[in-house]
Structure 1
Amino acid sequence: MQGRDRAFTLIELLVVIAVIATLAALSLPALSRARRHAEAAFCLNNLRQWGLATQLYALDHDDLLPPEGSPNPSDTATNVGWYIQLPAVLDLPRYHDMPWRTNPAGARDPYA
């Protein structure tokens, strides 16, 4: 038995795999919670940006808020809503060029 190399037994390998699987299973809920927290922070930041854009618009227009308008691009008479005017204040793409208007269902909305 002196010439035989010492190797891991099948039981030892199974125990190591079980420990690794248990650690991975314990860390998944924490990762999910962190992802939800990051998405909430992302949404809060976007809301903050829209609030700042509204304030900047009001400062530039005698404390008036942007008017409500129609999201229909062919309706030029009322195509001056806040969702049209505020992206220009924030240097964002125009409302009609925003990616969520052309992305397939389930695609992430960057303005959520």
Structure 2
Amino acid sequence: LVELLTVLAIIATLTTLGLAATRGAAEKGKTNRCLNDLRQVGVAVQLYVGDNSGRFPNTSHQGVEASWTNTLAEYLKTNFLGRCCAVPKHRSKLTYAWNDVLADGNGIGFMAASFRHPSFTMVVGELATNQTGEHFHFAGIRGGPSRISANQFRGFVNVECHGTSANYLFADGHVENLAWSQVQTRLAEPESAFLVP
């Protein structure tokens, strides 16, 4: 009887470990799929910039011709949905949003050459579940986007979309999965280029 109980306990422990590993692998797969989607957007942005004299795409509300999704449509694969698979029940059509600070007050995209640190400037992030639209509204923050607090940022961005982290596309075209603590550190840096080119 003792041996049987020992075997059952071992089987239960192994089953629990196996389920946890499977769940972790599934979450990692979703994170990687999302990173690949953002990488695809990054390639589209770089192609657009190359075809448009070094200017980044415009930003406007979805459905308007100048929205980044419409502007980049010809550069994106036809199966691009603009949705992260980790958030299947998001209230917005898109779960990826554009950093509106990368355009002037008229929605015209900045010149790539004007970016101080392209590898530090976020272009696209994951939209918070309580938000809708195709771009963040960082430019409207009182005191300007360089003064955005961690709480304000978190109100726009789903900073823990992938457990304790989220995926971001940067102006140089690379993508990163950043923990919320890493983003807070970047936002707090003096003269941070995380949002402001």
**Do Structure 1 and Structure 2 share a fold, with TM-score over 0.5?**
yes
CA contact (8 A) 1:53 1:89 kept: yes
Q: Which moved more, 1:58-67 or 1:22-31?
A: 22-31
- TM-score, with length taken from structure 1: 0.59
1:23-102 equivalences in 2 (<5 Å) = 23-71=14-62, 73=63, 78-92=64-78, 98=81
Task: Give the secondary structure class of the aligned counterpart of 1:63.
Answer: coil
Q: CA RMSD in A?
A: 3.2
**Unmatched 5+ residue regions in structure 1?**
1-10
Code of the residue aligned with 1:24 in structure 2: it is T
Question: Once the 2 structures are TM-superposed, how far is the Cα of residue 79 of structure 1 from its aligned partner?
Answer: 2.2
Residues 93, 29 of structure 1: alpha-carbon distance in 2 compared, 3 angstrom cutoff: closer
Question: Once the 2 structures are TM-superposed, how far is the Cα of residue 31 of structure 1 from its aligned partner?
Answer: 1.0
Q: Report sequence identity in percent.
A: 34
Structure scoring higher RCO (CA < 8 A, sep ≥ 6) equals 2
**Unmatched 5+ residue regions in structure 2?**
97-125, 127-197
Instruction: Show CA shifts across 1:44-71 (max 9, x none).
Output: 1111111111000011111111111221
Larger radius of gyration: 1
- TM-score, with length taken from structure 2: 0.36
Task: Give the secondary structure class of the aligned counterpart of 1:58.
Answer: helix
Instruction: Report the equivalent of 1:7.
Output: none
CA contact (8 A) 2:45 2:72 kept: yes
Rounded Cα–Cα distance in structure 2 between residues aligned with 1:93 and 1:40:
18
Instruction: Report the equivalent of 1:106.
Output: 89
Rounded Cα–Cα distance in structure 2 between residues aligned with 1:20 and 1:33:
20
Aligned pairs, number: 90
- More helix by percentage: 1
